[in-house]
Structure 1
Amino acid sequence: MSLVPILLALLPVTVLIAFGLVLKRLPGFRSPEFWSGAEKLAYYYLLPALLFTSVAEVDVAHVPLARLAAALVIPTVIVSLGIVLTRRVIARDLPAFTSVLQGGIRFNTYIGLSLAGSLFGPEGSAVAAIAAAILVPTVNVISSLGFEFLRTGPSSLLALLRAIATNPLVLGCIAGAVANITGLGLPDVAATVLDPLAAASLPIGLLCVGAGLQTFSMRAHARAIVISTFIKLLVLPGLSLTALFVLDVPTVPALVGLIFQSIATASSGYVMARQLGGDAKLIAALIAGQTVVMLLTMPVVLLVGQFMLG
């Protein structure tokens, strides 16, 4: 894999995100309700359909699940602990800390699935679904625990577990895993309905990513933005690459996992910040800044990954 395939894979992602950014400013598409509905459609229905169909059909015998999970989860936990231990240095207050934490570990699932499919075809899409199934619960648990720093009353483990158990992405992955393990796979009748829904998830999701980009207070939060972006786009990929190499994860699963660890943080972090009392303006600025910087760092990270893992 050379630089050209990586850039070609990033091209449609970049164009769709930019198109979403422009589209929201055009007459007829400025309504917040329109984009809110599109986001809900993609997040609650289309993306779970994609994860379900991908996991249901993947040949798990060719994916070292334990090694891949360890290589993705361990670096994520290490980075999270590092942010917690240095929170007084990297964030001016606790709400800002929660946004830096989310910005350091969250990833945009739409971008990851799109890039993996473009670079590695059906195998890449299937492995990407597995990587998402591993990382989505992990980052949601860590992010939720981060908000425990803001609580003044008793915490609720039950509420945390309920939030994870009802996450549509988690449910899509679990349903796909059940279909895979039981041997049901994806029946042709189900495929005729689910495949078009799955195919629609990425373009609609990426348009929503672009429409959701906001640049609140970038100058006011410059230090936190720089630190969080450095952690997310360089430190976490570096640790993950080391883990993937040491654990000898095969090339395609390793590079797909590296893609997910190299992606800008997701807009779901903004929603969580607003709901739980985090610094929503900071996370919005992080999402915008990281998405732009990612277009520069991603090719470098993947080329280094190809050299070490290929």
Structure 2
Amino acid sequence: MEVLIRLLALLAVLLVGAGLRSSGVLDDERTEWLNAAAYYGALPALIFVSTYDQAIGELLSVRLLGGLMAVLFATAAIAWLIHRERSSTARRSVAVVQSYHSNLGYLGLPLVAATFGADVTAVASVILGVVSLVQVPLTVLILVVMNDADAAIAGELTGLIKNPVLLSLFVGLAVGSSGIVVPGTVAVGLDAVGSLALPLALLCVGASLQVDASSIDFGATGSVIGLKIVCMPVLAWIVFSTLAVDPATFTASVVMLGTPTAVSTYVFATELGGDREFASLNVFGTTLVSVATLFVLITLIG
């Protein structure tokens, strides 16, 4: 019951964000402020406090890396097969990338941190870094190739390297592996800032949702939802059960890969020739339905 209440609270904050956008309280400028606060402040703080006292050798293993890549590319391959007959290339490219591109930073890691212990959160932070380094370039590449988009892939990759989320992960792991002691007051302060990551992210997600009822393709959107928040976590469950990883790694992997489609895919689709309305609808659909699927996942794992 506690998990359900927690997830319903997340949905409530998400809907509040959508309501504030509809009423004009959260316009584009204010949404950007909130987004910047979450992206450059709260989320990096959460990642750092989750990893600064962990040695990288204790978190990143061959099994974890291999399992993550297996699930990611298997889901992408299945999505490619299922969506290959879509008549619109712009819609087909978006359907493929949104079937595997997870919302690990804004929803996954904060949700794990709010639900599980520090050991699971530390592994989730590493998963965020590893998968982001792969799924972002893969998404850009698919959209560019399928839509013949004119994009500077090198620029996208450079931006990824400068990503504050990844930088905070590397700094946290470096501090943990080197044995540097972080003062208690600093750790407490960063922990307080990091606790704001989830509510800020949910408000931003809600404020960024754009849904046009007249353009809904239930079949295509249903396929994306099924692949992203049902097929992908099921694959993760099978793969990491087979690899016999430790409980913290199993929990973090299944929950993180069971998160909805990342909001950033809407931005990528808009910039790289994808169907932006379809992309927005899929973000909304996967986020909404994930409240139920994540409840099931967390309950089963717990």
User: Same-fold call, TM > 0.5?
Assistant: yes
Q: In the alignment, is residue 16 of structure 1 matched against residue 10 of structure 2?
A: no
User: Structure 1 pair 273/217, CA: closer, same or farther in 2 (3 Å)?
Assistant: farther
Quick one: which of 25, 29, 34 aligns to 1:33? 29
Which amino acid counterpart does residue 146 of structure 1 have in structure 2? I
1:239-266 residue CA offsets vs partner (Å, 9 max, x unmatched): 1110110001122321121111111112
CA apart distance, 1:217? 4.7
In structure 2, what is the Cα distance between the partners aligned to 1:5 and 1:59?
A: 32
Distance 1:218 1:226, change over 3 A: farther
SS at structure 2 position matched to 1:105 = coil
Match of 1:101 in 2: 96
CA distance in 2, matches of 1:261, 1:101: 16
Q: Which residue of 1 aligns with 2:38?
A: 42
- The equivalent of 2:4 in structure 1 is 7
User: Is 1:251 equivalent to 2:262 in the alignment?
Assistant: no
CA–CA distance in structure 2, aligned partners of residues 93 and 151 of structure 1: 10
| SS, match of residue 245 in structure 2 | coil
| Counterpart Cα distance in 2 of 1:95 and 1:36 | 26
Identity, % of aligned positions = 24
Query: Secondary structure of the residue that 2:117 maps to in structure 1?
Result: helix
> Which residue, 234, 246, 266 being the options, matches 1:238?
234
Q: 1:138 to 1:99 in 2, by over 3 A?
A: same
1:79 matched to 2:84 = no
Q: Equivalent of 2:47, from 48, 51, 55?
A: 51
Asked if 1:223 corresponds to 2:219, the answer is yes
Distance 2:139 2:267 in 1: 12
Q: Which moved more, 1:196-205 or 1:225-234?
A: 196-205
Partner of residue 279, structure 2: 283
SS for the counterpart of 1:137 is helix
Cα deviation digits, residues 20-74 of structure 1 (max 9, x gap): 22222345x1422111221122123321222122222235565463222222221
User: Structure 2: 5+ residue runs without aligned partners?
Assistant: none
Which of the residues 237, 257, 264 maps onto 1:268? 264
Instruction: Name the counterpart of 2:137.
Output: 141
Quick check: 1:64–1:249 contact (8 Å CA) kept in 2?
Answer: no
Query: Is the aligned partner of 1:199 residue 2:195?
Result: yes
Q: 2:147, 2:272 within 8 Å by CA — same for their partners in 1?
A: no
CA-CA distance at 1:218 after TM superposition? 6.6
Separation (CA, whole Å) in 1 of partners of 2:150 and 2:37: 34
Further displaced range: 191-200 or 204-213: 191-200
Contact preservation (8 Å) 1:241, 1:305: no
Are residues 50 and 302 of structure 1, via their aligned partners in 2, closer, same or farther at CA, if it must alter by over 3 Å? closer
Query: What letter matches 2:284 in structure 1?
Result: A
CA contact (8 A) 1:9 1:115 kept: no
- Asked if 2 retains the 8 angstrom alpha-carbon contact of 1:57 and 1:126, the reply is no
Report the Cα distance in structure 2 between the residues aligned to 1:217 and 1:102, rounded to whole angstroms.
22
Moved more, 211-220 or 272-281: 211-220
Q: Does the C-alpha gap of structure 1 residues 126 and 86 become closer, same or farther in structure 2, counting only changes over 3 Å?
A: same
Cα distance between partner residues in 1 of 2:137 and 2:181:
29
Q: Secondary structure at the match of 1:147?
A: helix
Partner AA of 1:132 in structure 2: L
- Find out whether 1:174 has 2:170 as its counterpart: yes
Match among 113, 117, 136 for residue 117 of structure 1:
113
Distance of aligned partners of 1:291 and 1:63 in 2 relative to their CA distance in 1, 3 Å threshold: same
Aligned residues: 301
Report the Cα distance in structure 2 between the residues aligned to 1:269 and 1:155, rounded to whole angstroms: 15
Indicate how the Cα distance of structure 1 residues 283 and 186 shifts in structure 2: closer, same or farther if over 3 A, else same: farther
Distance 2:84 2:255 in 1: 30
5+ residue gaps, structure 1, are: none
**CA distance in 1: counterparts of 2:121 and 2:149, whole angstroms:** 43
Contact 1:83–1:101 (Cα < 8 Å) also in 2 = yes
Q: 2:160 aligns with which of 149, 159, 164?
A: 164
SS in structure 2 at match of 1:211: helix
- Give the Cα–Cα distance (whole angstroms) in 1 for the partners of residues 129 and 149 of structure 2: 32
After superposing the two structures, state which structure 1 stretch, 15-24 or 147-156, moved more. 147-156
TM-superposed CA distance for 1:111, in Å, is 2.1
